[in-house]
Chain A
Amino acid sequence: MDPEAARTARESLDLAFHMSNILDTGLDRHTLSVLIALCDLGLNPEALAAVVKELQSEPPPSPPLPTSSSQIP
């Protein structure tokens, strides 16, 4: 990537990070960058959000989870 593009990318990430802080999403910079990359590749943002939510709130429901996940093929 040329330095121009790198700069743009960095600035975009900064802005997105700032926005996500305002919205209080609890995402850190690295995770956000991954998510942005996934969105760019065309993944459904709703699905990504669901993933984030599920995995963020995992610890409490972790006991029942293994039983359910074991049913999953």
Chain B
Amino acid sequence: MEEEDQRKVTDLVIELVRRLLSQQNPQSPNPNSPHFSQSLRYALRILSSRLTPSVSPDADAIAESIKRRLATQGNSSDALTFADLYTKFASKNGPGSVNNKWAVLYLLKIISEDRKTARKGMDSSILLPNLRLNDDEIGNHVRVLNVKEDREKGWQNGVLLVSKDPENLREISFREFGNLVKEENEVTEEVLVRDVLYACQGIDGKYVKLDSNLDGYALSDLVKVPRATRIIVRKLCELGWLFRKVKGYISESMDCFPAEDVGTVGQAFCAALQDELSEYYKLLAVLEAQSTNPIPLVSGNASSGNYLSLRRLSVWFAEPMVKMRLMAVLVDKCKVLRGGAMAGAIHLHAQHGDPLVHDFMRRLLRRVCSPLFEMVRSWVLEGELEDIFAEFFIVGQPVKAESLWREGYRMHAGMLPSFISQSLAQRILRTGKSINFLRVCCDDRGWADAATEAAAAAGTTTRRGSLGYGETGALESLVMEAAKRIDKHLLDVIYKRYKFKEHCLAIKRYLLLGQGDFVQYLMDIVGPELSEPANAISSFKLAGLLESAIRSSNAQYDDPDILDRLRVKMMPHGTGDRGWDVFSLEYDARVPLDTVFTESVMTRYLRIFNFLWKLRRVEHALIGAWKTMKPNCITSHAFTKLQRTVKLQLLSTLRRCQVLWDEMNHFVTNLQYYIMFEVLEVSWSNFSNEMEVAKDLDDLLAAHEKYLHSIVEKSLLGERSQTLYKSLFVLFDLILQFRSHADRLYEGIHELQARTVESSLNSRDKTKSRRQTKDKSSEPGSWISEGRKALTQRASEFLQNMGQDLDALATEYKSLLEGFLAQLPVQQHIDLKFLLFRLDFTEFYTRQHPTL
């Protein structure tokens, strides 16, 4: 084959020479002319002198350089066409195609360059002498020297500078470099690479060991390597250090697990980390396999080192380094955290712009938060709190049924992860609480339907594992739907099944004395009983009296369930107390309404009841006094026979009594009106409105609080109205005193009258029937002389005493009332100006005392 090839070559060369010469010479050349054979010999000589190409046989590179040259010359269209052609040319494979494509391209390139330089006007005679100087024997070295010379001379030698630089310079320098490298390195790069790969799995290699001083993997100083290698090895081993840290954390957690120190969230975190580490192991396995393979080179005759060098390793390690660093940071952060706090801390790290980090954290967080989301889901849809390791942000406490709503569950802010907002957490708490409340206190099972409806509405199901991190929007919508439905259900149950509104109204009518006729009857019946000392009263008797009062008023038409709950209560009393001080009514609100009507709430109602009861009692007393004070003929007719002074005394006393009564009545009536209407009714209507719009039990509780609070404040029972309250009670006592005085006065007058009638009866029997006009009136008969003086004296004495007492009462009353009225405008916190207006609408008091 060689022979044949040689012959072919020769033939082809002959042909080539012929054609080239014929290009020059239009006549067909004579193959046997000496010119021809000369040229042929010359051509053969050139051909044999250069056997190895100086440029690497890369067709693509050559095509690229041609294209670039064309483009820089401004022929961009040509460049594009050339590129097109080249792709087609290069794609031709198989028999009949060109095998040495790069050679063809190279050839074309050189020829075109040569032509260009030739056209630029360089005299080829200049070129030829160089060629001439070359002899076969001198060979390549001489050419190199000549090239150098030419460069010094400043000629650009087109033929010889086709290659980028003369081959040999490059080869020589490569060889020298290789020798240098071998001297410096004691250890070959392969071994170092393998050691680094071991270090990245936490194992000490032959040269790379864990250095406790530096706290990392490093080459020991005894090994002689260039400094650059040392540094790069140290950098690559950072990965090993990070790996050790992460692995340490995982194994620690695994050990602690039986001791229940690590919660479900921590376990999920470890599981996620282990997944990432298994990816990392895969990468390391691939790299290890690669580290023993040599690179396949195109030409096949160049020898290269192993595929994996330290630099290639650093490129491969770039991405795992980022991930491992992230994991190590998280591990550090989460060493002491648990549960929701851990999830929150990891979430903070996920706020990162780099998409690699972002995706990584997202995957991690999805796994870490799944136990948390599961807990939320079961809490919100079923009211179940499955939290063995105390990782959830809602904690439950075992309490009695009545405080289940207020204290049964509370939020643990430390465990609240940062991607769940406060308001969402509140809603979650309330929803679960409502379910538990319904289940425990109301014995209701209807909430299960509401829960499935809610889940369907939110697009998830009630199965496990349907929510994940990153779906906070879905969680929110689920919670809102559930909250909406369950709150509505709860309120329905409370209103319809337990008749909350009716009970509130009943409390208002009975405890707050709204049912006027009932109160009146009660007071009438119970009044005489209550004047006894407290320990002499039996509550059974009072209960019976209460029953009769109910039956005789409109209250009997009320719901028997409500009437059942109304009871008499005797408060704990000391020895000096009268019945009036210890009597009170009580309303028994059972589960679940005692969530609203707790002990403290009922105590407040009791206080208000006491106050209202006292007020009613005073009113009752005054009305009783009015009954005795009705003007009757006794006052005008009875004592005409008396001495004038006595009569005048009598008249004035009576008059003073009347005036005082009037004042007191005015005060009490207005106070009563203020309390009943402007305080109680207004607060009640506000409360009713709020009950209409309440969306859940918390709203209802708040509305009820507000209602009670406003009543307490406005009826002067609050903290800030203490002085006012005290002076009011002193006034009440005074009024009761007055009542007893008035009673005594009229009793005295009646007695006197009876005596007078007696004394005049004997003398005036006949005239009695004629003068009889009113039932109580009695004619003033003529006085019997003896009894008259004594009677008059006694009468005057008596009247004088009474008069003085009344005066004293009057002055005291006046001063107290003024004191009370003076304090009214000073109270800033409530609208007492209505009261003041009514009490003083004629400005009687302000005119008397300009200071008011």
Contacts and interface: CB of A to CB of B under 8 A. Distances in A.
B108 A23 contact: yes
A12 B97 contact: yes
Contact of B159 (A41, A44, A53, A56): A53
Contacts of B89: 12, 15-16, 19
A38 B108 contact: no
B132 A68 contact: yes
How many A residues touch the partner, as a band? 35 or more
A31 B19 contact: yes
A25 B98 contact: no
Interface residues of B, number: 69
Interface in B139-170: 159, 162-163
B96 A7 contact: yes
Contact of B92 (A8, A30, A54, A66): A8
A13 B17 CA distance: 20
A48 B96 contact: no
A9 B97 contact: yes
A49 B45 CA distance: 13
B159 A22 contact: no
Interface in B247-267: none
Interchain residue pairs A-B with the least CB separation, the first 7? A5-B96, A23-B112, A49-B110, A8-B96, A9-B96, A39-B103, A5-B95
Interface string B31-64: 0000100110111011111111110000000000
B118 A8 contact: no
Interface in A22-73: 22-28, 30-31, 34-62, 64-66, 68-69, 72
A2 B95 contact: yes
B38 A65 contact: yes
Interface of A: 1-2, 4-9, 11-12, 15-16, 18-20, 22-28, 30-31, 34-62, 64-66, 68-69, 72
Given A22-B70, A31-B20, A45 B96 contact: no
A48 B103 CA distance: 10
B88 interface: yes
Contacts of A16: 89, 98, 104, 108
Contact of B103 (A2, A7, A45): A45
Among A27, A38, A46: residue with most chain B CB under 10 A = A46
Interface of B: 5, 8-9, 12-13, 15-17, 19-21, 23-25, 35, 38-39, 41-43, 45-54, 66, 70, 78, 81-82, 85-86, 88-89, 92, 94-100, 103-112, 114-116, 118, 124-125, 128, 131-132, 159, 162-163
10 contacts: A8-B97, A19-B82, A25-B108, A26-B111, A30-B19, A34-B19, A44-B53, A46-B110, A61-B125, A66-B38
Given A41-B5, A45-B107, A46-B50, A51 B43 contact: yes
Contacts of A42: 100
Contacts of A37: 8, 12
A50 B110 CA distance: 9
B103 A58 contact: no
Nearest to A23: B112
A54 B110 contact: no
A22 B82 contact: yes
Given A22-B81, A42-B100, A51-B16, A11 B24 contact: no
A44 B52 contact: yes
A11 B104 CA distance: 15
A3 B43 CA distance: 34
B16 A31 contact: yes
Contacts of B88: 15
A50 B20 CA distance: 12
A24 B116 CA distance: 9
A23 B111 contact: yes
B95 A45 contact: no
A53 B613 CA distance: 132
A31 to B, nearest CB: 5
A52 B24 CA distance: 12
Given A15-B85, A44-B51, A51 B46 contact: yes
B10 to A, nearest CB: 10
